[in-house]
Chain A
Amino acid sequence: QSVLTQPPSASGTPGQRVTISCSGSSSNIGSYTVNWFQQLPGTAPKLLIYSNNQRPSGVPDRFSGSKSGTSASLAISGLQSEDEADYYCAAWDGSLNGHVFGTGTKVTVL
Chain B
Amino acid sequence: EVQLLESGGGLVQPGGSLRLSCAASGFTFSTYDMSWVRQAPGKGLEWVSSINRSGRTTFHADSVKGRFTISRDTSKNTLYLQMNGLRGEDTAVYYCATIWDYWGQGALVTVSS
Residue contact A99 to B35, C-beta cutoff 8 Å:
yes
Count chain B residues whose beta carbon lies closer than 8 angstroms to a beta carbon of A: 20
* CB within 8 Å for A96 and B62 given contacts A88-B44, A101-B44: yes
Complex contacts, B82 vs chain A, CB 8 Å: none
Residue contact B106 to A56, C-beta cutoff 8 Å:
no
Q: Say if the beta carbon of B1 comes within 8 Å of chain A.
A: no
Complex contacts, B103 vs chain A, CB 8 Å: 44-46
Q: Say if the beta carbon of A97 comes within 8 Å of chain B.
A: yes
Q: Say if the beta carbon of A104 comes within 8 Å of chain B.
A: yes
Residue contact A97 to B104, C-beta cutoff 8 Å:
no
Residue contact A47 to B45, C-beta cutoff 8 Å:
no
Residue contact B100 to A35, C-beta cutoff 8 Å:
yes
Complex contacts, A96 vs chain B, CB 8 Å: 62
Within 8 A of B (CB), among A21-64: 35, 37, 39, 44-47, 50, 56
| B contact face: mostly helix, strand, loop, or mixed | strand
Complex contacts, B99 vs chain A, CB 8 Å: 99
Complex contacts, B95 vs chain A, CB 8 Å: 44-45
Complex contacts, A46 vs chain B, CB 8 Å: 103
Residue contact A37 to B44, C-beta cutoff 8 Å:
no
A28 to B99 alpha-carbon distance, docked (Å): 16
- Which of A2, A35, A45, A99 has most chain B Cβ within 10 Å? A99
Within 8 A of B (CB), among A93-107: 96-104
Give the distance to chain A from B34, nearest Cβ to Cβ, in Å.
12
Chain A positions near chain B (C-beta within 8 angstroms): 2, 35, 37, 39, 44-47, 50, 56, 86, 88, 90, 96-104
